[in-house]
Amino acid sequence: MPSSRIFLTYSFTEGEDNVDGSDAKEMLKSYLAGMTTCSVVSSIDEADFVIELRVIKKGMAYRRTKIVVTHILTDTKVFETSWVRGASTAFYGYSGTRAAIGKIVMNYLLKKYPKIEV
């Protein structure tokens, strides 16, 4: 929903080489702030939705990421992506994590929910 309050969480993927969760959450936060009307809140008690982020390392400059969006009031999973690959390029500041998160937001989340775009 436009202007929703979002709480971001990072989950480790067992058996994989996970990236630094706090950095990954900050990258996701910057995409949401710049491309949606949603606001990121610091407490789950203030939120309407939770976005669970996972990012794993796959090779030197490649990352895979996945998000799950849950509506807090109904505890319903409203959106989930498959694993999306990102590669280190100049466009993404040579960060595979930033590339994968950018693809998730632009190619999946905003296409599924275009009304949350700015």
Q: What is the pTM of this model?
A: 0.88
What is the structure's pLDDT at 115?
A: 77
Domain count, the chain: 1
Give the residue from 3, 1, 6 showing the smallest Cα distance to 67: 6
C-alpha R_g of the chain = 14
Backbone angles phi, psi at 52, to 5 degrees: -95, 125
What is the structure's pLDDT at 118?
A: 61
What is the structure's pLDDT at 18?
A: 93
Q: Per residue in 1-39, pLDDT tens? A: 778 899 999 999 999 999 999 999 999 998 888 788 888
| Greater pLDDT, 55 or 111 | 55
Which amino acid would we find at residue 94?
Y
50-69 mean pLDDT:
92
40-69 mean pLDDT:
93
What is the structure's pLDDT at 91?
A: 67
For the domain that residue 59 is a member of, what is the CATH number? Answer: 3.40.50.10610
What is the structure's pLDDT at 51?
A: 95
* Residues above pLDDT 70, as percent of the chain: 97
Domain holding 68, by residue range, is: 5-116
How long, in residues, is the chain? 118
